[in-house]
Amino acid sequence: MERKTRQATDGKTLQYNTIKARLYPTPAQAELFEKTFGCCRYIWNQMLSDEQRFYAETGAHFIPTPAKYKTNAPFLKEVDNQALIQEHNRLSQAFRAFFKNPETFGHPNFKRKKTDRDSFTACNHDFESGPTIYLTKDGIRMTKAGIVRAKFPRRPQAWWKLKRITVEKTRSGKYYCCILYECQVKPPEPVRPAPETTIGLKYSMPHFYVADDGTMADPPRWLERSQEKLAKLQRKLSRMQAGSKNYQETVQKYRRLHEHIANQRNDFIHKESRRIANAWDAVCMRADALDEMAQRVRQGNVLGSGYGMFRERLRYKLARQGKQLILVDRYEPTTRTCSACGFVEEAVSYERRTWVCPDCGAVHHREVNAAKNIKARGLAQYFQSEERESA
């Protein structure tokens, strides 16, 4: 997965890739991970508390470094110092984002063990003796933890440079690590879209998306079956006595099933976005605000569909090939506009699958018609911007 790109030397760009691997720590390594999770929460809360007290007394913003707390909290010396430094960097970044745009980014909050995820990040440093973090044949070497056994979905290229690693623990008790790599790549040649090599996609609650050619990406049947199992398990859990042994075992099954559904959805989104990115030169989509749509529409699970992740992953996969993701304004009346003659209807009910244009008499499938309009508006928007740049 791509994180970001920035300009490098020799006309190349720096590209960041992430590999997520499953960790199988020993009991001693798992205990060290748990200590690191707790120390990261502790240092975050202490720095935030001191920052608030310092601001209340002086009116200035100041965040102490983790070294200040090691005298009164000697247990902080038992974990990797890089994890504590990264907590300081994260808190500083959170305040910078808050001061820059307080309406979008809220004030940093205290971390709680029950609600916040267990994770820590450590940067890789190259010394004369070697790097502090590196991969082995069947594991990954980390500071203080040693070599942790791991299962990698793929291996990095030889020229990739390991930058940092993030270790996290899921609610089901599994450990994963996200390894960030940096590499220099040659920028791809821009691909100019054409009507025959461009596809328009419209978000659809029953079909995930509908294309302008009428194809629909229905979620796989196995994902629907897993969601049915989840509903059944929720009903069973609601009838149990909270805190009992059977209740705790069922909660663990519930967490594992939730994680399984998330993995299934993630697999579907990655494969579908890869298929589209390889098959088309440009993709036109509407810039729908899914969070606002979820508040207006109560019948479907808008946020749970993963369409926002699909749009973002499609964006970077297209960009790596020099292709375009064209976003159309979400207030464009794509559903109410006739794709044949351009007539704009006053209102089209979302309950109606088809509607007839009163001007030309064309019969439209509501979502396919919207996808056609999204494609037309997107291409017009692209060619207009191209003309402005050349003028």
Pairing of strands 198-204, 282-286: parallel
Given a cut of 80, whether residue 216 has pLDDT beyond it is: yes
Pairing of strands 324-328, 282-286: parallel
Question: Is residue 66 within 8 Å of 59, Cβ to Cβ?
Answer: no
Q: Are residues 246 and 358 in the same domain?
A: yes
208: β partners: 204
Q: Are residues 275 and 323 in the same domain?
A: yes
Q: How confident is the model at residue 391 (pLDDT cuts 50, 70, 90)?
A: low
Alpha-carbon distance of 361 to 359, in angstroms, equals 6
- Check residue 162 and report its DSSP letter: E
| 150 found inside a domain | yes
Q: Are residues 15 and 158 in the same domain?
A: yes
For residue 86, what are the contacts with CB-CB under 8 A and spacing of at least 6? 120, 121, 122, 123, 164
DSSP of 308-332: HHHHHHHHHHHHTTT-EEEEEPTTS
Question: Is residue 309 within 8 Å of 263, Cβ to Cβ?
Answer: no
Q: Three-state SS for 19?
A: strand
Alpha-carbon distance of 162 to 160, in angstroms, equals 7
Domain final residue pick, 158, 185, 212: 185
What is the structure's pLDDT at 237? 87
C-alpha dist (Å) from residue 100 to 33, 62, 93, 103, 104: 34, 16, 10, 9, 9
What is the structure's pLDDT at 262? 86
Q: Are residues 150 and 216 in the same domain?
A: no
Given a cut of 70, whether residue 75 has pLDDT beyond it is: yes
Given a cut of 70, whether residue 66 has pLDDT beyond it is: yes
Q: What percent of the chain has pLDDT over 70?
A: 93
| 262 found inside a domain | yes
pLDDT tens digits for 317-329? 999 999 999 999 9
Question: Is residue 80 within 8 Å of 143, Cβ to Cβ?
Answer: yes
| 190 found inside a domain | no
Q: Are residues 264 and 319 in the same domain?
A: yes
- How deeply is 16 buried, as exposed, middle or buried, from its count of CB atoms within 10 A (0-12, 13-18, 19+)? middle
Q: Are residues 289 and 347 in the same domain?
A: yes
| 25 found inside a domain | yes
- Highest average pLDDT, of 32-36, 190-194, 218-222, 308-312, comes from 32-36
Q: Are residues 162 and 206 in the same domain?
A: no
Q: Are residues 153 and 250 in the same domain?
A: no
Q: Are residues 121 and 231 in the same domain?
A: no
Determine the structural domain holding residue 33 and report its residue range.
2-185
Q: Are residues 116 and 205 in the same domain?
A: no
| 121 found inside a domain | yes
- Tokens 């075992």 belong to residue: 249
Q: How confident is the model at residue 276 (pLDDT cuts 50, 70, 90)?
A: very high
Q: Three-state SS for 91?
A: helix
Q: Are residues 178 and 208 in the same domain?
A: no
| 110 found inside a domain | yes
As given in the structure block, the two tokens for residue 244 are 């009992």
| 154 found inside a domain | yes
Alpha-carbon distance of 257 to 242, in angstroms, equals 19
Question: Is residue 23 within 8 Å of 31, Cβ to Cβ?
Answer: no
Domain final residue pick, 132, 160, 185: 185
Given a cut of 50, whether residue 3 has pLDDT beyond it is: no
Q: Any idea what the CATH number is for the domain that residue 294 is in?
A: 3.30.420
Closest to 47 in 3D by CA, of 75, 86, 79, 74: 86
Q: Are residues 24 and 89 in the same domain?
A: yes
| 373 found inside a domain | yes
Total number of domains constituting the chain? 2
Element (H, E) at 181: strand 175-185
Domain final residue pick, 151, 185, 219: 185
- What helix, strand, coil percent values describe the chain, rounded to 5? 40, 25, 35
Q: Three-state SS for 1?
A: coil
Cα angle value 371/374/377 (rounded, 5°): 150
